[in-house]
């Protein structure tokens, strides 16, 4: 580089070239661009890292040992959200024959698992949006159709959505469901933690309906304490782990269980940090790289081209001189 | 002045006796309790209290004021003793619903009345009939849907 930037200086005195890039100008620009790039990525990372979540946010504690699989939560969810009536009635156990996932017609579903401790008492797991503390769906969304409310709910806005379905790929719990039947007006369907109800001091429909005490709604920090107390009081009944306390950076919906969570289909390979952190560095750098790199490499290219041009002219001159000498 | 004082003592004494009599008369546990707080959806559950009490023979299994329930968090603030329960003038016996109301997000420790009942029932009845294996189990064994009859009581 040193050589390439020396040549124009030497040459400037002799001949005028159409575009001139001085050594000082080139180094100055490179320095400014690099500083911009560094400052840009640095400030972004620290701003997100200091936020520890909204105070007084809500959550739900699911005690998987208490659920008896009555499907009252599914029924209540259907009624509260005005979802279409299911093909199989809510008191039909045939739905337990194969695992289900939440979809556009059911924001929550209950699946049955064999109980290794007592085969006569199967274990049930209710699936719905876990309302992550730092939701991967929201981070993956290119147009901010998702937002995490101070109450804890992760909400989706269909009027923003253009149907890319990145959120479906990003969610570690397979929750956002695309309404394929109205594909022309893209719509992701998922649990809202009954946001309109909790905003007015109520509790989610599923929690209200649960007769078994498997679901408890409250401030997330109180629920974490309650979960820890339950485990401490009954160490033989529960495994010593609160699922969702730290998984994927923490979730609003937390779980305690009598058997290891892996046996109930919970993803156990999630990091204890927000999934967004895996991609934050890369995605944060994209805008900087898109603006700075073209300028940086453009400069290099211009400098190299300039040198080549000068060398060409030089050799052409030399040839001419040789010709005239001859 | 003297007359007033005498009147005050007479009223206090008669109130005391009335309360004691009331509490004494309702001290005996009932044979069958009709659990009908959800009567708009389900038929009332005729809970055979005496049968359960005889079988379990530890009232503290269900009632906080009896037995060894020192670990109950409610006792941290409320004097939950048999005498307090039985001398409640309004009911003669402090009903579960006085504390176990609808769910309160501020008090996740305090379960709702519905959960308080059900979780106690499930401690033994989960696994009986179809309870815990079929969503129909609840309406077959305990509370029929309003207007129908339990399939177990033919």
The backbone torsions φ and ψ at residue A38, rounded to the nearest 5 degrees and listed phi first, read -65, -45
Domain A58-274 has CATH 3.40.50.1980: no
Nearest partner of A275 among A175, A203, A173, judged by Cα: A173
Per-residue pLDDT of A226-276, as tens digits, reads 999 999 999 999 999 999 999 999 999 999 999 999 999 999 999 998 888
Q: Chain A contacts of B131, Cβ < 8 Å? A: 68
Q: State whether A217 and B135 contact (CB < 8 Å).
A: no
Q: Do B122 and A66 touch (CB under 8 A)?
A: yes
Which tens digits make up the pLDDT trace of B23-73? 444 556 778 988 888 888 899 999 999 999 899 888 888 887 776 666 666
A183-205 pLDDT tens trace = 678 889 999 999 999 999 999 99
> Nearest residue of A to residue B108 by CA position?
A218
What is chain A's length? 326
Query: Predicted ipTM?
Result: 0.76
Q: How many CB atoms lie within 10 A of CB A245?
A: 17
**Chain B contact for A224 (CB, 8 A cutoff):** no
- B122–A70 CB contact, under 8 Å: no
- B154 lies in some domain: no
Would you call B107 an interface residue with chain A, using a CB distance cutoff of 8 Å?
yes
Taking an 8 Å cut-off on Cβ atoms, the answer to whether B135 and A58 are in contact is no
Number of domains making up chain B? 1
Enter the tokens of residue A61.
């504690």
Give yes or no for B120 touching A (CB within 8 A): no
pLDDT digits (tens, 9 = 90+) for A75-106: 999 999 999 999 999 999 999 999 999 999 99
Place of tokens 């005690």: A63
pTM of the entire predicted model? 0.76
B93 lies in some domain: yes
Q: Is residue B151 part of a domain?
A: no
Break chain A into its structural domains and give their ranges.
2-49+288-325, 58-274
Give the torsion through C-alpha atoms of A92, A93, A96, A102, to 10 deg: 30
Residues of A in contact with B134 (CB under 8 A): 69, 93
Q: Report the chain B residue with the minimal C-alpha distance to residue A211.
A: B115
Residue B29 lies in a domain: yes
CA distance B17 to chain A (A): 41
Q: Does the pLDDT value for residue A303 go beyond 90?
A: yes
DSSP designation for A179: -
Joined together, the tokens standing for residue A190 give: 């998922």
Q: What is residue A226's three-state secondary structure?
A: helix
Residue range of the domain that includes B111: 2-141
**C-alpha–C-alpha distance, residues B129 and B150, integer Å:** 12
Which chain A residues are within 8 Å of B128, Cβ to Cβ? none
């Amino acid at each position: 580089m040193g050589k390439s930037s020396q040549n124009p200086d030497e040459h400037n005195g002799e001949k005028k070239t159409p575009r001139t890039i001085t050594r000082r100008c080139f180094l100055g620009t490179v320095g400014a661009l690099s500083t911009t790039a560094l400052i840009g990525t640095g400030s972004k990372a620290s701003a997100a890292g200091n936020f520890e979540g909204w105070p007084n946010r809500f959550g739900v504690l699911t005690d998987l040992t208490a659920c008896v699989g009555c499907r009252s939560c599914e029924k209540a969810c259907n009624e509260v959200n005005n979802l279409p009536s299911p093909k199989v009635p809510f008191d039909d156990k045939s739905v337990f024959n194969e695992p289900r996932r939440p979809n556009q017609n059911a924001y929550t579903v209950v699946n049955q698992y064999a109980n290794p401790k007592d085969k006569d008492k199967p274990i049930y797991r209710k699936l719905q949006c876990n309302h992550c503390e730092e939701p991967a769906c929201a981070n993956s969304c290119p147009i901010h159709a998702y937002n995490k409310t101070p109450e804890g709910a992760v909400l989706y806005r269909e009027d923003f959505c253009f149907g890319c379905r990145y959120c479906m790929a990003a969610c570690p719990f397979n929750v956002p469901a695309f309404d394929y039947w109205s594909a022309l007006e893209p719509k992701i369907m998922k649990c809202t933690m009954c946001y309109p109800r909790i905003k007015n001091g109520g509790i989610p429909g599923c929690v209200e309906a649960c007769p078994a005490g498997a679901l408890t709604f409250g401030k997330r920090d109180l629920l974490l304490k309650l979960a820890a107390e339950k485990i401490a009081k009954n160490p033989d009944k529960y495994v010593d782990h609160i699922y969702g306390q730290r998984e994927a950076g923490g979730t609003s919906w937390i779980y305690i269980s009598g058997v290891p969570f892996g046996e109930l289909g919970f993803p156990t390979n999630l990091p204890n940090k927000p999934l967004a952190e895996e991609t934050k560095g890369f995605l944060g750098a994209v805008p900087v790289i898109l603006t700075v790199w073209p300028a940086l490499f453009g400069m290099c290219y211009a400098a190299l081209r300039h040198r080549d041009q000068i060398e060409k002219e030089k050799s052409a001159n030399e040839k001419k001189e040789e010709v005239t000498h001859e | 002045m003297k007359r007033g004082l005498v009147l005050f003592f007479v009223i206090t004494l008669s109130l005391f006796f009335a309360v004691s009599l009331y509490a004494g008369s309702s001290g005996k546990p009932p044979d069958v309790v009709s659990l009908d707080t959800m009567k708009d959806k389900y038929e009332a559950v005729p809970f055979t209290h005496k049968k359960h009490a005889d079988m379990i023979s530890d009232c503290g299994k269900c009632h906080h004021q009896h037995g060894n329930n020192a670990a109950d968090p409610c006792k941290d603030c409320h004097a939950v003793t048999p005498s307090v329960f039985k001398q409640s003038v309004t009911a003669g016996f402090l009903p579960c619903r006085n504390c176990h109301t609808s769910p309160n997000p501020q008090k996740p420790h305090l379960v709702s009345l519905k959960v308080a009942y059900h979780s106690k029932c499930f401690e033994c009845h989960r696994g009986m009939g179809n309870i815990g294996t079929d969503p129909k189990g609840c309406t077959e064994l305990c509370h029929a849907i309003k207007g129908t009859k339990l399939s177990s009581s033919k």
